[in-house]
């Protein structure tokens, strides 16, 4: 079963990992490394520290 939304928080995008999740409907990636391979398959991506971004996201939705 394919995930509707896949949050790749601090995930580099190793080939073995990408093979298992690349068919997800929507892939959202946050990584401090702008060259992380996960961005090659992500539909939405942000270069940044996941702890900062997630804190802001949490504040926005609560």
Ligand X SMILES: Cc1cc2nc3c(=O)[nH]c(=O)nc-3n(C[C@H](O)[C@H](O)[C@H](O)COP(=O)(O)OP(=O)(O)OC[C@H]3O[C@@H](n4cnc5c(N)ncnc54)[C@H](O)[C@@H]3O)c2cc1C
Chain contacts with ligand X (rule: CB under 6 A): 10-12, 14, 16-17, 20, 30-33, 36, 49-51
Label residue 29 exposed, middle or buried (CB < 10 Å: 0-12, 13-18, 19+). Answer: buried
CB nearer to ligand X: give 11 or 42: 11
Provide the minimum distance between the beta carbon of 4 and ligand X in the complex, in angstroms, as a whole number.
19
Tell the residue number behind the tokens 């398959």, with chain if given.
Answer: 41
Provide the minimum distance between the beta carbon of 36 and ligand X in the complex, in angstroms, as a whole number.
4
Provide the minimum distance between the beta carbon of 33 and ligand X in the complex, in angstroms, as a whole number.
4
| Helices and strands (H, E) in the chain, number of each type | 2, 3
């Amino acid at each position: 079963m394919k995930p509707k939304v896949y949050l790749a928080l601090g995930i580099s995008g190793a080939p073995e990992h990408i093979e298992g999740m690349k068919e997800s409907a929507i892939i959202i990636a946050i990584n401090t490394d702008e060259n992380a391979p996960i961005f090659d398959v992500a539909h939405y991506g942000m270069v940044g520290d996941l702890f900062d971004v997630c804190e802001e996201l949490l504040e926005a939705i609560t």
